[in-house]
Amino acid sequence: MSVFTDPDFDGHEQVVHCHERASGLHAIIAIHSTRLGPALGGIRMYPYADEAGALNDALRLARGMSYKSALAGLPLGGGKSVILGDPRRDKTPALLHAMGEAIERLGGRYVGAEDSGTAVADLQLMAQTTAHVTGLQDKPGLDGGVRSGDPSPATALGVFTGIRAAVRHRFGREDLAGLRVAIQGVGSVGHRLAQLLHAAGATLFVSDVWAPNLERALREFGAEPVTPDRIHAAPVDVYAPCALGAVLDDVTIPQLCAAIVAGAANNQLAQARHGEALRARGVLYAPDYAINAGGIIDVCAERLGEDAAGVRARVERIGATLTAIFEQAESEGLPTQLVADRLAERRLYG
pLDDT digits over 286-312, tens only? 999 999 999 999 989 888 888 888 899
Residue 52's identity, in one-letter code, is A
Residues 117 and 244 in one domain: no
140 in a structural domain: no
pLDDT score, position 143: 63
Domain that holds residue 260: 146-349
pLDDT beyond 90 at 282: yes
pLDDT beyond 70 at 114: yes
Number of structural domains (the chain) is 2
Residues 175 and 129 in one domain: no
β-strand partners of 181 = 204, 238
166 in a structural domain: yes
Residues 42 and 66 in one domain: yes
Q: What is the DSSP letter of 75?
A: S
Residue 114 · residue 151 · CB < 8 Å = yes
Confirm whether 80 is a catalytic residue. Answer: yes
Residues 67 and 16 in one domain: yes
Residues 72 and 189 in one domain: no
pLDDT beyond 80 at 43: yes
Boundary-marking domain end, from 135, 166, 183: 135
271 in a structural domain: yes
Q: Residues 179-201: what's their mean pLDDT?
A: 97
Boundary-marking domain end, from 90, 106, 135: 135
Residues 12 and 48 in one domain: yes
Residues 168 and 108 in one domain: no
Residue 13's identity, in one-letter code, is E
For residues 249 and 124, give the distance between their C-alpha atoms in angstroms, rounded to a whole number: 37
Residues 125 and 166 in one domain: no
What SS3 state is found at 180? strand
pLDDT score, position 54: 96
Residues 98 and 167 in one domain: no
pLDDT beyond 80 at 124: yes
Boundary-marking domain end, from 111, 135, 159: 135
β-strand partners of 9 = none
Q: Residues 96-114: what's their mean pLDDT?
A: 97
When mean pLDDT is compared across 62-66, 143-147, 252-256, the lowest value belongs to: 143-147
Residues 308 and 174 in one domain: yes
Residue 32, phi then psi, degrees to nearest 5: -80, -50
Catalytic residue among 68, 80, 91, 139: 80
- Greater model confidence, 272 or 136: 272
Residues 107 and 222 in one domain: no
Q: Name the pTM for this structure.
A: 0.91
Q: Mean pLDDT of all residues in the chain? A: 95
293 in a structural domain: yes
Sign of the Cα pseudo-torsion (34, 38, 41, 47, in order): positive
Residue 195 · residue 174 · CB < 8 Å = no
317 in a structural domain: yes
196 in a structural domain: yes
CATH number of the domain that 111 lies in?
Answer: 3.40.50.10860
Chain centre distance of CA 7:
21
Residues 185 and 332 in one domain: yes
